[in-house]
Structure 1
């Protein structure tokens, strides 16, 4: 059975995540300049998400263990981002490379 504190924490984190994604869109009703504060903020969320995913995957691996899946994922993210400048494609490629490395037994 799930503890109430875990449920409350999940609801708080989910609400904050939703607000982080929806409020900038709702608050930006006008056509701002591409280099404006909101544009810079929204442009920074993609790299911030990649950094968050990187930290979340690296922290459990700080112990001695297999680094191949992590290195495959990081290499895929860096390579695809360098080639395409797309945060979405880089994130998908990194996830796919990490999952593939684990699936074939490298991790």
Structure 2
């Protein structure tokens, strides 16, 4: 593995961890619902979906038909369209991608 890829993975992993850890430790009762911090924290759900998408895409850029990527992406889009829940869509994408990898 190239050092650039490893470095990028560590940076993205640290940022993802920070997005999940720090909001649970900060008192958010005093922030404005339409403020910058509230909008920033609301964007962490879509950021999680983008992270899963990129994580599933990287191993497949070397070639071949990206069937697990397609199944995971379609799962996310379909469940989000039906339920309008970022959490449910993220879990559906993870399950769809995992099952596709396992079955193939």
User: Which interval holds the TM-score relative to the shorter structure?
Assistant: 0.7 to 0.9
Larger radius of gyration, structure 1 or 2? 1
Unmatched 5+ stretches in structure 2: 1-9
Is residue 80 of structure 1 aligned with residue 72 of structure 2?
no
Question: Take 1:102 and 1:26, find their aligned partners in 2: how far apart are those partners?
Answer: 35
RMSD: 2.4
CA contact (8 A) 2:56 2:69 kept: yes
TM-score (norm 1): 0.71
Unmatched 5+ stretches in structure 1: 1-9
User: Secondary structure of 1:30's match?
Assistant: coil
The residue number in structure 2 matching 1:103 is: 102
Question: Take 1:36 and 1:104, find their aligned partners in 2: how far apart are those partners?
Answer: 45
Per the TM alignment, residue 39 of structure 1 is displaced from its structure 2 partner at its CA by 1.4
- Matched positions, count: 94
TM-score (norm 2): 0.73
The residue number in structure 2 matching 1:63 is: 62
User: Secondary structure of 1:33's match?
Assistant: coil
Question: Take 1:68 and 1:28, find their aligned partners in 2: how far apart are those partners?
Answer: 42
